[in-house]
């Protein structure tokens, strides 16, 4: 089969070559454009990333196309409706970094609960080893963690929380009582979770329904002194409301790996592609942000996904997905 790969680097080239030896492969390290399109008009399979816009016009120029894999969770860069009309199967990579993000979530929780940032500042910058009440933290054991969204990442967060001896409340649109019993958490509605959680961690996708899920109204329902963690998507939290919650004392601390201003950054994978990422623009946004000036806020640069294991998983799942289609048994279809 003729397979074209867009937006892949040299190392990824070699991986796919090794695993697809009996097929004719075309490689391009840039997004799809008119020049590359002219070279792949006969391909039957297309592997892309989020910067390759697969519109109706593009699809009409690929008459032999039978399959598209996007190496991302998101697939709004592909005209799915027209693909269905043309009987073109589309797959994505729905998850590949669930362990990495869950572990990073607890890195943020522990940094806040044990005041690691302040401790490091004192020893590294003030050359002081004095311990006083300003560095007093709190134990996670016995505290209640509210997990909003219990998909693959949320489940791993629950597992880690139970290891710390935490009580866990979960809000999720899909309830599986057997899983709750087996993992030792309790399903809740959102209001109850907001009211009773000592720490709240967000693990929902960004949709119209989750836009500003955590707004001023939600914050007012929270327990005073709550901690909020967001490793999901920035716009799930209303930034203006978040600053209000911090300044009012309702929220004691925040750990963020994503920001609402990140709307111009589409997917995690592009953050480690030097030719795509633009750290300068993001840094300008961060430097002017009120949150950066607060000592009870920890912000990491959308790095929760970024482990060696998760990047290997992305390639493994991608090749498995391609091979499943080649065997006539497509998976991860959208």
Which residues does the annotation mark as catalytic?
Answer: 233, 262, 302
Q: Indicate the SS3 state at residue 303.
A: coil
- Output Rg (C-alpha) for the chain, integer angstroms: 22
Ramachandran area for residue 197 (φ above 0: left; ψ -120 to 50: alpha; else beta): beta
Query: What contacts 327, CB < 8 A, 6 or more positions away?
Result: none
Extract the tokens encoding 98. Answer: 């669930």
Torsion, Cα 165 170 176 180, to 10 degrees, reads: 10
Residue 285: how many CB atoms within 10 A of its CB?
Answer: 15
Q: Do 97 and 313 form a contact (C-beta atoms < 8 A)?
A: yes
Return the closest-CA partner of residue 3 out of 28, 29, 33, 25. Answer: 25
- Using CA of residue 200, residue 205, residue 206, residue 211, what is the dihedral sign? negative
d(Cα 214, Cα 229) in Å, to the nearest integer? 11
Beta-strand ranges (E) seen in the chain are 2-6, 24-28, 45-48, 67-70, 89-91, 144-148, 167-171, 186-187, 199-202, 226-230, 251-256, 297-299
d(Cα 290, Cα 293) in Å, to the nearest integer? 6
Residue 309: how many CB atoms within 10 A of its CB?
Answer: 11
d(Cα 306, Cα 97) in Å, to the nearest integer? 8
d(Cα 23, Cα 72) in Å, to the nearest integer? 23
Q: Indicate the SS3 state at residue 170.
A: strand
């Amino acid at each position: 089969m003729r397979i074209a790969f867009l937006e892949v680097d040299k190392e990824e080239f070699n991986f796919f070559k090794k695993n697809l030896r009996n097929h004719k492969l075309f490689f391009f390290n840039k997004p799809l454009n008119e020049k590359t399109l002219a070279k792949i008009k006969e391909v039957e399979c297309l592997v892309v990333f989020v910067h390759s816009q697969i519109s109706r016009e593009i699809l009409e120029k690929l008459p032999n196309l039978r399959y598209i894999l996007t190496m991302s969770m998101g697939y709004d860069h592909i005209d799915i409706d027209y693909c269905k009309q043309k009987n073109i199967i589309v797959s994505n990579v729905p998850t590949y970094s669930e362990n990495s993000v869950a572990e990073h979530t607890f890195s943020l929780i522990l940094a806040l609960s044990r005041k690691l940032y302040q401790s490091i500042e004192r020893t590294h910058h003030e050359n002081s080893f004095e311990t006083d009440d300003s560095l007093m933290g709190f134990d996670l054991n016995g505290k209640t963690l509210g997990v909003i969204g219990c998909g693959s990442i949320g489940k791993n967060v629950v597992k880690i929380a139970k290891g710390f001896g935490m009580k866990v409340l979960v809000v999720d649109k899909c309830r599986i009582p057997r899983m709750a019993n087996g993992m030792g958490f309790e399903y809740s509605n959102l209001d109850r979770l907001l009211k009773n959680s000592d720490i709240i961690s967000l693990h929902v996708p960004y949709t119209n329904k989750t836009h500003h899920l955590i707004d001023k109204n939600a914050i007012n329902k929270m327990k005073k002194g709550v901690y909020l963690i967001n490793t999901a998507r920035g716009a799930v939290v209303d930034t203006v409301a978040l600053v209000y919650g911090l300044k009012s004392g309702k929220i004691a601390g925040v750990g963020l790996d994503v920001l609402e201003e990140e709307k111009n950054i589409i997917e995690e994978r592009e953050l480690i592609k030097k030719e795509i990422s633009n750290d300068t623009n993001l840094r300008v946004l961060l430097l002017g942000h009120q949150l950066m000036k607060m000592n009870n806020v920890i912000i990491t640069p959308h790095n929760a996904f970024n482990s060696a294991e998760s990047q290997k998983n992305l390639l493994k799942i991608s090749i498995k997905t391609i091979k499943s289609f080649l065997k006539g048994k497509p998976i991860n279809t959208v």
